[in-house]
């Protein structure tokens, strides 16, 4: 059974992706702006991994975010 932290992380990711989709649908953010936000978040985790003794968490989060960018999960594509 997943831990509360794993469930919280999955819920937060789902909510954030839904918000990004809603912002794109409502024309509050364009696809390039959403991609830039995700790239910035990934870069922050990559930098944190380089700056501290990372147990793999920061690098894993960066890989996950980059996978979201590659998969197009946070923008509706035709």
> What integer pLDDT is reported at residue 37 of this predicted model?
95
> Domain range for residue 30?
4-71
> What integer pLDDT is reported at residue 2 of this predicted model?
86
Helix residue ranges per DSSP H, 3-56: 4-25, 31-51
Q: What is the spatial distance between Cα 21 and Cα 28, in angstroms, rounded to a whole number?
A: 10
> What integer pLDDT is reported at residue 20 of this predicted model?
93
Asked whether residue 77 is domain-assigned, the answer is: no
> Which pTM does this prediction carry?
0.83
Number of domains observed in the structure of the chain: 1
Round to the nearest angstrom and report the end-to-end CA distance of the chain.
36
Asked whether residue 13 is domain-assigned, the answer is: yes
| pLDDT per 10-residue tile (average), the chain, 78 residues | 91 93 94 94 93 86 92 70
> What integer pLDDT is reported at residue 51 of this predicted model?
86
> What integer pLDDT is reported at residue 72 of this predicted model?
77
């Amino acid at each position: 059974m997943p831990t509360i932290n794993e469930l919280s992380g999955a819920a937060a990711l789902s909510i954030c992706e839904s918000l990004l989709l809603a912002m794109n649908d409502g024309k509050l953010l364009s696809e390039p702006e959403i991609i830039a936000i995700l790239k910035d978040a990934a870069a922050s985790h990559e930098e944190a991994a380089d700056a501290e003794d990372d147990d793999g968490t920061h690098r894993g989060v960066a890989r996950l975010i980059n996978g979201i960018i590659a998969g197009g999960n946070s923008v509706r594509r035709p």
